[in-house]
Amino acid sequence: MKKIFLYGEAEKLSNYTVALSGCGAQPVVSRDLDLSHGCDGLLLPGGADLDPALYGQENTASAGIDRQRDEAELELVRRFQTAGRPILGICKGFQVLNVALGGTLVQDLAHPETHRWSEASGDRVHSIRTAAESFLRPLYGAAFAVNSAHHQALDRVAPVLTVTAWAEDGIPEALQAPELGIFAVQFHPERMAFAHRRPDTVDGEAVFRFFLERV
């Protein structure tokens, strides 16, 4: 059984662990980085904002910062990339990958209303379009609906990464570096899969199965 490492606490990452387990993988959730050594792949989950000091900016709109987590996940990216083991980034994890590999972020979208989670409505839903080479294209096609729960976005894209999907307003929605085993999405497939499957989006399970086939 393939073992996938996630940094954090299991009770806070249950949507991710349920999705991985449902696809036949074994999640390993811990704040002990040493436990990542025996794992076959890394999943960088969603969460609050990355510390902007880590990409050379003053804090103008970032909240909920957990510097210990940020530093740990940046170190995990380095370790897994060095070892040639695949990485999947989701929402914050999408942004962490970009920063880890030399990119920067927009700390607050000018018009976040189509992307930001709200207590009243939960996740937003919008369409995205994919490039021909996107890993998402064979899974879902050229255009499809996804959920959304973020207020930050990519600014400068890391040199080794390629953006291969965009929202209708041009916000990047997928990153990849297939030769490095790196794939990432700005949306939340774990909240569109299994018990969280919803009729107004695609099935997020396909993203997890795609990743695990490459582990």
Quick: pLDDT tens for 193-206: 999 999 999 999 99
Active site residue 91: yes
Q: Over the stretch 16-58, which tens digit does the pLDDT of each residue have? A: 999 999 999 999 999 999 999 999 999 999 999 999 999 999 9
CA distances 155 to 160, 191, 202, Å, are 15, 25, 26
Average pLDDT estimate for 162-171? 97
Residue holding tokens 């255009």? 143
pLDDT band at 112 (very low <50, low <70, confident <90, very high): confident
The pTM assigned to this predicted structure is 0.97
| Structural class in CATH, domain 3-213 | alpha beta
Report which DSSP code applies to 151: S
Whether 39 is catalytic is no
Q: Which residue of the set 39, 190, 196, 205 is catalytic?
A: 190
DSSP 180: G
User: Residue 207 and residue 111: Cα distance in Å, rounded?
Assistant: 27
Tell me the CB-side half-sphere exposure of residue 47, using CA atoms within 13 A.
24
pLDDT score, position 111? 77
Tokens of 170: 């041009």
Nearby residues of 164 by Cβ (< 8 Å), 6 or more positions away = 130, 131, 133, 134, 135, 136, 174, 175, 176
Of 91, 115, 151, 196, which residue is the catalytic one? 91
The amino acid that residue 170 corresponds to is G
pLDDT band for position 115 (50/70/90)? confident
State yes or no: pLDDT of 120 exceeds 80.
Answer: no
- Please state the rounded mean pLDDT for residues 93-121: 88
Q: Is the pLDDT of residue 147 over 70?
A: yes
- The full set of domain ranges for the chain reads 3-213
pLDDT average, residue stretch 83-97:
98
**Mean pLDDT across the stretch 57-80?**
98
Task: Say what the pLDDT of residue 119 is.
Answer: 65
Catalytic-role residue among 39, 188, 196, 205:
188
